[in-house]
Amino acid sequence: MRGLVSRLVLPLAAVVALVAAGSAGGAQTKTVTFIIAGAADPTYLDPALVSDGESFRVTEQIFEGLVSLKPGSTVVQPGLATKWSSKNGKDWTFTLRHGVKFHDGTAFNAQAVCYNFNRQYNFTGPFQDASATYYWQTVFLGFKHNESADLSPSLYKSCTTRGNYTAIIHLSSRSASFLAAMVISSFSIQSPTALKKYGANQGELRNGTFYPTGTYAFSHPTGTGPFVFKSWTVGEKVELVKNTKYWGKKPQIDRVIIRPIANNTARVQALQTGEINGADLIQPQDVPTIKNNSKLKLLDRPSFNVAYVTINQKNAPFNKLAVRQAIAYGLDRQGVVNSFYAGRAQVAQEFMPPQLFGWTNKVPKYPYNPDKAKSLLRSAGLSLPVPIEFWYPTGVSRPYMPRPDLNFQAFSASLEKSGFKVTAKSAPWRPDYVKNVNQGTAGDINLIGWTGDFGDPDNFVGTFFQSASPQWGFKNQAIFNILTKAEGEVNSKKRVKLYQQANVMIMKFLPGVPYAHSKPALGMQRTVHGYVPSPVGTDPFAGVSIGGQ
Amino acid sequence: MSVVELEAREIQLEAPSGLWSEAWRRLIRNPGAIVGAFFVLCFVAAAIFAPVLAPYGPKDQNLLLIVKGCCPGPSSKHWLGVDLLGRDVYSRILYGARYSLLIGVVSVSIGLSVGLVLGSVAGYLGGFVDSLIMRCMDVMLAIPGLLFAIGIVAMLGPGLRQVMVAVGVVNIPIFARLLRGSVLAQRENDFVLAARSVGVRRPTILFSHILPNAMSPVIVQGTLAMATAIIDVAGLGFLGLGPQDPATPEWGTMLTDVNDYLQTAPFLAIVPGLAIVISVLGFNLIGDGLREALDPKLRGRA
Amino acid sequence: MLRYLVRRLFLLVPILLGVSLLIFFWIRALPGGPAESLLGERATPALVAAYRKRYGLDKPVYQQYVTYLKTTFVDRDLGVSVASRRTVFSEIRQRFPATVELSVAAMIFAVGLGIPLGFVAAKRHGGVFDHLSLVGSLIGISIPIFFLAIILKYIFAVRLAWLPSVGRISVLIDMKHPTNFYVLDAIIERNWSALWDVLKHLILPAIALGSIPLAIVTRITRAAVLDVQNEDYVRTARAKGLAPLTVDRRHVLRNALLPVSTIIGLQTGLLLSGAVLTETVFAYPGMGSWLRDAIFSRDYPVLQGGILFLAFVFVVVNLIVDLSYAIINPRIRYS
């Protein structure tokens, strides 16, 4: 009998012992590899056809746009264009960089620029879907031939070239936010040859789902950037290698591996074990873990977001200003920011971050004051407690709202102290919650927020309040007008003034209560140098080096 | 067999006092079952007397206790420390027992009652009805249980009631199969054949003859299902499908934080985990003891 | 036997059709849709409406069901994932092997440890070891699987750093994947360091996932050995003076393994459920975490194709188990 047991148990024990003997460290290689983890696989590696941060994390390394962001800021700097100008806000002339080659060896020139813009302008069928061309539709509104009545006429008119190195983009009306939007990865320049060769524009509707039949975005994305695409194993990694013929400063690392690790804690633990060099989307609760680890360091992503409480004015009595003020005084914003953001956030006073032009300190402020809230409610002729339906999302962590459930619980406790009777309602973030918020069916108040795509106030307050929307349930023509005027203003000084005025008006009217601007965190091994987080989330890896301490 | 004889036999089988009292004797001699009963008793007591035993309310926040984003551990004021909102963990664990008990009882009752009806009807009627019901059960069993439950919650929306329904529905085919099996076994028994031959109506046979005798595996399975129900609910909570109000002191939801706070506040993670393990273990021990006590194969041996 | 097989195969059809109907109507009953989940804060009502139209969700229900059947039986690629824009079948080809590998490793752990444990417990019936194994196995099934997974990972990967914490294979290893079963791939490619790496990645998830089957296998083995030991043929074998070891091996264990083999088949569904949680904790790119994500992101084609595929696997495995049972045990005759 003993023989039998040992025959079964021994091999197993041997395996366990061998495992214990082996170490978890990765294989030694001569090439310098930078391994960074995000939360998910990229969707697709054709930047024109995606809008998610995980895809942009990769495309940002492979592709470049006409303009780019100065690392760590939202200031526009030259990219593939060295200079640009516009006299009337409609015709934008870009002077292009010489001697740049795509990864497939073809030359970058004005024709390539126009090809890329015209490609998106001419999209038809499934490509006109918002899930495919979200940013084109955000910035340029429509296509050459709009196939849906919901699309507006296109802001883009045409693209002309003068010689090989001047491209002029013609818009159908004045736009001041156009240039800032050109930093979005969706407008980066891809190799026309590769796009054609690998069928980037080939796709069909298969049983109602957009199905790309080409191989471009899965295995041949081709740009001018500092890294060249090598391989993509779904669920495991995207691998990029150094572009040895890069026109700018050559990267110091030989290859980049981008891993999807969905679980937040799993990502931090992989950083602790050394399986990855860097991790994005670090949650506040993991901040101490990284701080206390001598091998790791914390990086700040500059704050470029806002978390806020929507107040839906369609529902009485929230159409009364006094009641909205009572809500603002009844939310313990400082308490929430202190407790749940690990010291990485500030209380928001208005609907856009202080780093952005147009922000002003002159807005009315509403510090936590339960007594004032109660007297405001009484002055509005209401008997206490005032019932209020309060929604929050589950199954989600956003950079501006790492723990919605905790924010919610603290807020509802402070509201109950301020004369309200809270009814809790939750919905999973994906997909019911946001729909309810946008359609104005998420209770009287709800938690939501926004992360900016590019450095323009229009991307914040313009998105929220430029026209009536069911989310807020109000019509305030004065606010709509001033925001529309500000968006089209080409004079930058006047523009700043207009947005400041708008912010004061908004905070007096109080359509909702902004409560936090957070500074999202990244974790890195101490040996990683030169990693500069971008406010909009598209961090360049070209400047990264690994070594020393 | 004469009618008199038949009646005599029936009385004997309908009042199986021998069976139950013997089972009871076997049960109380099983140390595992005693320990299990103790755990379950603690659990039920915590649920019933939570308001008396708990020093704080389950939703009483105290943000002032929160230092640097997280939470002080055990102290004389807070025996098991406080959570992220400064709430007393000990009080929340006690109140949490109420929810776990409720969820367990309701979801098992759903699974058991529906499964019981379907299974006994299928087993007793046989033929086409049997095939139809059992193929439906096969379909339900063919989808992995947790995915099935997630799917139901996704459909009904999050909330405690929805979670109970989801876990209950997942249990239906298990009980249905079990019942059908026992009913089939009982159907061919002499006393049933006899009852049928003297013209007793079908439903009467089913309810007064077959079901009572098919119950013992159901009792065992019901106890074990309580255990899995608590675990399943915790799993759903871990995946973010818990009750509507996040302040609800439900153990699974409290455990959701296990992963996030294992390094910074291990107490927060381990306490609700242990509460689940102990109560589940209690039900499993009792279920196990019952199985041994009621197992006819083992009956003669003691 | 053959008639039985044909009948069982024939029965698969209504079951799978039933599953497909169930999934289909369940999906249509889900609130929200893929547009909202893809676009997040940016999903305006107009975009959502356009999306539903584009994806054919405004067509009559029967038409949508026919489309679903068409992708399954005519195109045989199960449609295209909304999230990844790849065919569901190509994703399954990548993820199913991962889950199978994990489940097999978990079963090897459970059987490799459970049979000896159960056997020893039965041989020392009533002793300390017997009681310990019983209590241990009960504790094993009483621990929520994700709780165990997290604790194991924290101790062995994060604290002790003996084993990797995430994924299937170290990302620094470049290897071709002819089968997508990484253990097989490493053997085919004769890449022994990769094989070692893949096995290391399997250990913790397999232990976590295998804990419940381990408890069950231990108990079943113990019970079966106890039963068989008292059978006449075992007594006879002993009486005629066969060495105890030979008796154990030839008679006791062989016969006791029959019920164990059926249990292994019955664990398939349980393993797939557990895989959802285990894969989440270990960022393991398998079917479980993929389908969970698909539910949250309302990726209709993935749900329709993926769950149907799993159901198919499940019923086929059960059929194979039933058949193998008949082959192992000639006393059972199916008609």
User: What is C54-67 written as a DSSP string?
Assistant: HTTTTS-HHHHHHH
Q: What is the DSSP string of B87-103?
A: -BHHHHHHHHHHHHHHH
> Which residue of A394, A397, A414 is the best one to mutate when testing the B interface, meaning the one whose CB has the most B CBs within 10 A?
A394
Q: Do C144 and B136 touch (CB under 8 A)?
A: no
Mean residue pLDDT across chain C = 81
Q: How many CB pairs under 8 A join A and C?
A: 223
In the predicted structure, residue C272 carries a pLDDT above the cut 90: no
- Does residue C14 sit at the B interface (CB-CB below 8 Å)? yes
DSSP H helices, C143-239, are 145-153, 182-188, 192-229, 232-239
Q: Nearest C-alpha of chain C: how many angstroms from B51?
A: 27
Q: Are strands A445-451 and A512-518 parallel, antiparallel or unpaired?
A: unpaired
pLDDT score, position C291: 86
pLDDT tier at C8 (50, 70, 90 boundaries)? confident
Start-to-end CA distance of chain B, whole Å, equals 33
Q: Give the sign of the dihedral formed by CA A28, CA A34, CA A37, CA A40.
A: negative
Search chain A and give the residue with CA nearest B67: A339
Q: Looking at the predicted structure, is the pLDDT value of residue A24 above 50? A: no
Residue A472 scores a pLDDT above 90: yes
Task: Please give the residue of chain B at the shortest CA–CA distance from C298.
Answer: B154
- pLDDT tens, residue by residue, B64-99: 776 655 677 777 777 787 887 778 888 889 998 988
Cβ-based neighbours of C62, under 8 Å, separated by 6 or more:
none
Question: Are the beta carbons of B68 and A406 separated by less than 8 Å?
Answer: no
Helix spans in A401-520 (H): 404-417, 434-438, 461-465, 477-488, 492-509
* CA dist., res. C257 & res. C296, Å (int): 41
B-chain residues within 8 Å CB-CB of A339?
Answer: 63, 66, 69, 84-85
pLDDT at A282 over 70: yes
Residues 15-74 of C with CB under 8 A from B: 15-16, 18-19, 22-23, 26, 29-31
**CA distance to partner chain A, nearest, from residue B248 (Å):** 10
Average pLDDT taken over every residue of chain A: 88
Would you state the pLDDT for residue A367? 95
Cβ–Cβ below 8 Å for B158 and A408: no
Q: What are the Cα distances from residue A212, in Å, to A56, A216, A222, C70?
A: 19, 9, 17, 19
Task: Give the minimum alpha-carbon distance from B265 to chain A in angstroms, rounded to a whole number.
Answer: 10
Subunits with 3+ Cβ pairs within 8 Å of C are A, B
Q: Contact A24/C85, CB-based, under 8 Å? A: no
Per-residue CA distances from A11 to A4, C175, C209, C227 (Å):
12, 27, 20, 28
Q: What pTM does this model have?
A: 0.78
pLDDT tens track for A229-248: 999 988 889 999 999 999 99
Residue A95: the pLDDT is: 96
Put simply, whether A146 touches C (Cβ < 8 Å) is: no
Q: Residue A129 above 80 pLDDT?
A: no
Which residue type sits at C1? M
A254-268, A325-339, A508-522, B77-91, range with the lowest pLDDT = B77-91
Mind telling me how many Å the CA of C239 is from chain A's nearest CA? 18
Judged by a CB distance cut-off of 8 A, whether residue A507 touches chain C is: no
Question: Cβ separation of A24 and C49 shorter than 8 Å?
Answer: no
Closest in C19, C158, C280 to B139, CB measured:
C19
Query: With 50 as the cut, is the pLDDT of residue A19 above it?
Result: no
* Chains linked to B by 3 or more Cβ pairs within 8 Å: A, C
Q: Is the pLDDT of residue C333 over 60?
A: no
Q: Which residue in B154, B245, B261 is closest to A285 by CB distance?
A: B261
* A269–C contact, CB cutoff 8 A: yes
Most C CBs within 10 Å, among B139, B162, B238, to test the C interface: B139
Q: Which residue of A22, A26, A450 is in closest CB contact with C196?
A: A22
Among candidate residues B33, A16, A9, the one with its CA nearest the CA of residue C120: A9
Tokens of A124: 């038809």
- For the cut 80, the answer to whether the pLDDT of residue B106 exceeds it is yes
For B151, residues 6+ apart whose C-beta sits below 8 A from its C-beta are B143, C26, C295
- Count of pairs with CB atoms under 8 A, one residue in A, one in B: 78
- Compare CB distances from B277 to C143, C280, C310 and report the shortest one's residue: C143
ipTM confidence: 0.77
**CA separation for the pair A409, B84 (Å, rounded):** 11
